[in-house]
Structure formats: C-alpha cells, structure tokens
Amino acid sequence: MRTRAKIFGTASKPRLSVFRGNRYTCIQLIDDEKGNTLASASTRELKKKDKRTVLAEQLGELIAKKAVEKGIEKAVFDRSFYKYHGRVKAIAEGARKGGLKL
C-alpha cells in the first residue's frame, strides 16, 4: 500500500517521515511544497546502548524539540509502509510527549 503518495506536508505542517533500518532509525520533517528537509534526527545522534523501542521514543522527543525550536507545532505522520507498532509507534508517542501534534 502506498501511503507516501497520499500524505503531503507544508512548511506550517510538515510531513514526519520515518525510516526504520536494521541498525538505526531516522526521521525527518519534510516540506513537500519546496522539497526541503526542515529537521532530522537519527538514533546515531543518541549514542546510547538501549533497546530500539526506547531509543525510538527518545528520538521522537528529540525531533519534537527541534521542531518546536523552529516554530513547528503540528506535523503529518508518514509511517511509510511500516505498521503502527513497535518503533514506529514509539516515535509517534515520543513526538507527542515532546509537544508535537500529529
């Protein structure tokens, strides 16, 4: 199922895109009108040895902090083709905890 084609982000309400790899998880806030990445975060930045789900929640809080610093309060959650479970769900919960409205 193609969810990315249906989800569109703007500068005021960017798309929160999730990439889930075997080793790292990366997320970006993307303005699709201009094609710019407004903010990004990765589990590489956290430098912690913890479970991937715990790191994903911390990653969500980190991207929310970066978004609030840039004046972004709302975002559209783009989970790609991943199920809303595990790391993907933890990212969304962490972003909400950090103050970002999805």
Considering its fold, how many domains does the chain have in total?
1
Q: Where in the sequence is the domain holding 53, given as residue range(s)?
A: 15-97
Residue 84: CATH number of its domain: 3.30.420.100
To the nearest 10°, report the CA torsion of 90, 43, 41, 89.
Answer: -10
* pLDDT tens, residue by residue, 47-88: 888 899 999 999 999 999 999 999 999 999 998 889 999 999
> Higher confidence at residue 4 or residue 42?
42
Residue 85 inside a domain? The answer is yes
d(CA 27, CA 80): 11
Residue 4 resides in a domain: no
pLDDT digits (tens, 9 = 90+) for 1-17: 555 566 777 778 899 99
Cα dihedral across residues 50, 53, 55, 61: positive or negative? negative
Within-domain flag for 87: yes
